[in-house]
Amino acid sequence: MSERAPALELFRLQKTYPSPKGPAVIVKDFSLNLKRGEFVTLIGHSGCGKSTVLSMVAGLTSVTDGGIILEGRESTGPGPDRGIVFQSPCLLPWMSVFDNVMLGVEQVYFTASKTERRELAEYYLSVVGLGDAMKKSPGELSQGMRQRVGIARAFALQPKMLLLDEPFGMLDALTKIELQQVLLDLWRRNRLTTLMVTHDVNEAIYLSDRVVMMTNGPEATLGEILEIDFPRPRKREMVLNDPLFTAYRDHLVSYLTERSHQRNEPKTYTKENLLTFTSDPVAKDHTAAA
């Protein structure tokens, strides 16, 4: 297939749940294309439906209307061609770390020899820094280590794309920074098309090529798109100290605080036409207090 076709195409996705007061529309008319090897982050207020979109792409939530096309094929159910890292690592506690990764590897590489499969699982576990902990059970690991296993498990499937559902949401600040690095290192080697959900603005800017802002629910949809123009590989200090980073963050925060309830034609912003707060949020707080 051609290099220019999108790796993932979301076409007018809609999710409706039946409720006592009639159908509740969570997500409506959500359309987005991801280029091959692109890292896109969905950001929005909690409960806006960003996780629902991710879950629909994963095939774990049924699609009420619209379509998902992954690498030119309509995707209708879950499958190992999409590696998922959940917010909680979802490791099976009765299996060793190694067996948790092997469970997926055996499913995907059923034609490979036993040695090849073992090597693959071992490779990904050592890349995420768990070379010495493979025989341990998940219960013996810290939250951060468990999430490393979750990342290794997703990459070891060598999927067509990666889905990350607030993967660092439950970690402390330092562990979060460490794991963002682990993720970026792995991602650079594989260049997997990635769709991530987060509510951490800094994380979104640091990791993504594009940040997609969602409007508030119900009937949440695409609000704005922000293209992040930092060269890769990115260095954390460089990105954080760049004045552009602050400008990106102002744009995102001002969207979340001031524009996320509006419904306009989705517009793409780049570093040339960034928006910022219509009024100084600090000054506004002062007047509110007074």
Partner 1 sequence: MKLPGKLSLNAIFLPFLGVLLCIGGWALISGKSVTKTTTKDDGWGDMITVTETKRVGLSADLPAPSETWVASKPYIVEPFAKRGELDQGILRFTWLSLKLVVQGYLLALLIGTPIGFLLGLSRNFTLAFDPIIQILRPVSPLAWLPLGMVMFSGLKIADASGRTAFGTSDAAALFTIAICAMWPTVLNTAVGVRAVPQDYLNVAKVLKLSRFKTLTKILIPSSLPYMFTGFRLSLGIAWLVIVAVEMLIGKPGIGGFLWQQYNANSFAHIILSIITIGLIGFILDRLMSLAESRFRTA
Which residues of the chain form contacts with partner 1 (CB under 8 A)?
58-60, 77-80, 82, 84, 86, 88, 90, 92, 94-95, 103-104, 107, 157
Q: Return the amino acid letter for 36.
A: R
How far from chain centre, in Å, is Cα 99? 25
Nearer to partner 1, 110 or 273 (CB): 110
Closest separation between CB of residue 51 and partner 1, Å? Answer: 13
Closest separation between CB of residue 66 and partner 1, Å? Answer: 21
Closest separation between CB of residue 216 and partner 1, Å? Answer: 26
Nearer to partner 1, 59 or 167 (CB): 59
What is the rounded CA–CA span in Å between residue 269 and residue 93? Answer: 44
**Is the backbone peptide bond immediately before 218 cis, with ω within 30 degrees of 0?**
yes
Closest separation between CB of residue 77 and partner 1, Å? Answer: 8
How far from chain centre, in Å, is Cα 202? 14
What is the rounded CA–CA span in Å between residue 32 and residue 142? Answer: 36
What is the rounded CA–CA span in Å between residue 266 and residue 288? Answer: 31
What is the rounded CA–CA span in Å between residue 68 and residue 48? Answer: 20
Closest separation between CB of residue 121 and partner 1, Å? Answer: 13
Nearer to partner 1, 92 or 238 (CB): 92
Token duo for residue 106: 């055996």
Closest separation between CB of residue 81 and partner 1, Å? Answer: 10
Nearer to partner 1, 144 or 150 (CB): 150
Q: Which value, to the nearest 10 degrees, does the dihedral of the CA atoms of residues 110, 114, 117, 122 take? A: 160
Nearer to partner 1, 104 or 217 (CB): 104
Q: What spatial distance separates the first Cα and last Cα of the chain, rounded to whole Å?
A: 61
Is residue 87 within 8 Å of residue 165, measured between CB atoms? yes
Residue with tokens 């159908």: 23
In 3D space, the residue among 86, 105, 87 whose CA is nearest the CA of residue 95 turns out to be 105
Nearer to partner 1, 61 or 260 (CB): 61
Secondary-structure breakdown of the chain: helix, strand, coil percentages, each rounded to the nearest 5: 40, 20, 40
Please report which helix (H) or strand (E) contains residue 153, including its range: helix 143-156
Nearer to partner 1, 17 or 270 (CB): 17
Closest separation between CB of residue 107 and partner 1, Å? Answer: 5
Closest separation between CB of residue 242 and partner 1, Å? Answer: 37
Token duo for residue 60: 């774990």
Nearer to partner 1, 103 or 170 (CB): 103
